[in-house]
Structure 1
Amino acid sequence: MRLAISPRLSPVLRHLPSSSLLSLTELALLALLAVQCGRLFWALATPIGPLGDWRPAAGPAAERGRAVLASGFDPFFRLAGGAGASVVTSLQLKLFGVRVDEATGRGAAIIAGPDNVQTSYSVGDAIQPGVILKSVGYDSVTIAHDGRDETLYLDQSGAAPVVAPAVPAPASIALLSAPAAETSAPGAVTLSQLRMGLTVTPRQAGGRMTGLVPRGDPSLLARLGLQPGDIIVQVSGRPVGSPDDLQRAAAGLANGGNLSIGVERGAQIVPLAISISGQ
């Protein structure tokens, strides 16, 4: 059976657009775009999510609710407003530290017994026979003692520890102690003996020179009053800044005189007077 088309409809059918998969896809995308634009406009006009208004409730009921939540915790008056006063344990225990684990509800604490030995305990561990660590708070722990809950707070009986100042490096000359009297060298030396028999090596600290290490004939070093391990840190009352400071100061005493130096000896600055008899 064949479907016969009326000759009158043939011109109309020829002017209709032919449909294809591409045109149907375009129409579907246009429809989806129109729906998304409508949803965006609705979200901007009425900002209410699927669960209702996101804004917090206001009014007397909300104020009372916040007041109830705030009254449940007060770090300054932790016993006020609670279910009842806690019982502080009379056991010879000291709490030195806590670690609260809110994820698991366990936590741990560092507790010392009568022997003052600090031991770490987790919730559920036995501290002593009949004494179980029950819970851990931010500044206290609750222990179960013979079926009764008791509280043990952080030990705050001692004074706060004082941080000791850092010990300066030996290069810090100003902080080292020095005796008041100046020690004279055992014997006088000539300027040529000092130049030929004494050499110095710079000591570096922090990228700068902090002293001179004397080297040379042991008998000459002894005549100058120097001992093994001495470091020359002062020449003529000034901190050394160059390896030539010692020889430069000695050259000014070509006609004789006393050369003042300061040597670092242990934790002290020992002043020495080197007697130069001449050339």
Structure 2
Amino acid sequence: MGFGVKRLAFPGVRPALPPLHDVLWWALATLIALLGAALFWALVTPVSPLGNWKPAGIREMSPTARAALFASIDPFNRTAPAAGEAQQGAVTSLALTLFATRATPGGGGSAIIAGSDGVQNVYRTGAEVQPGVTLAGVAFDHVELSRNGARELLYLDQSGPAPDAQGVVAANPVAVPPGGAGGSGGVSIDSLRRGVNFGPKAEGGKTVGLEVLSSGDGAAFRAAGFQPGDVITAVDGKPVTGPGDAATLSGALRPGASIAVTVRRGDRQLPLAITLAP
């Protein structure tokens, strides 16, 4: 007579769960197996089950279609305005030269513009370029000027007429100011002494420079490169420290001389060369 072992079941007792490390090991082994199968499938499966894969051909436009497309696009936005459309503005006739532009989102920006004296200055939108002339807008190849309420354009390259100028010459030549200010030959001493006055500029009880004042028609003042509100802070590299520097500057005015001065214009310090006629 044999005796068998009988497991007794106790109500309310659950079977023991496998250890946690066994569960993690099997999960990791399953993941490795799946990744290995995916790698094997990627190596043995061809690029396309339909045969050799080839890229789609490039669709080229015919020369006639390309010519028509390029003719319809104006990348410089200089096309003539359509019927009923407002004129953008004519090319300015002022003696200004545009060297660089920097347009910013929202219609702002800055530009490097030189006057008839050839001195380059940085102007921001809304700044006064010349008396009565304000920088109204900046684009990538030109700027818009507001001149007595009228809009005028100044381009980087004005060697030829612009399409929307309607016959206005865009060369923008440098005009010779009246009163003896001679363009490339410099300003005559007589016209400079009659048209420009230098006075001490004091701040906080201390002389900080020579205030430049215009008299007469202002031709010599502009030809020398000055603008209203300019203050000379240094002459030939030497800072202005007292009222006697005005006499020193006047004594340096000799025919054919070129006097280097530093001008405070707003919040900037700008170098300026006063060239006198021989």
TM-score normalised according to structure 2 size: 0.31
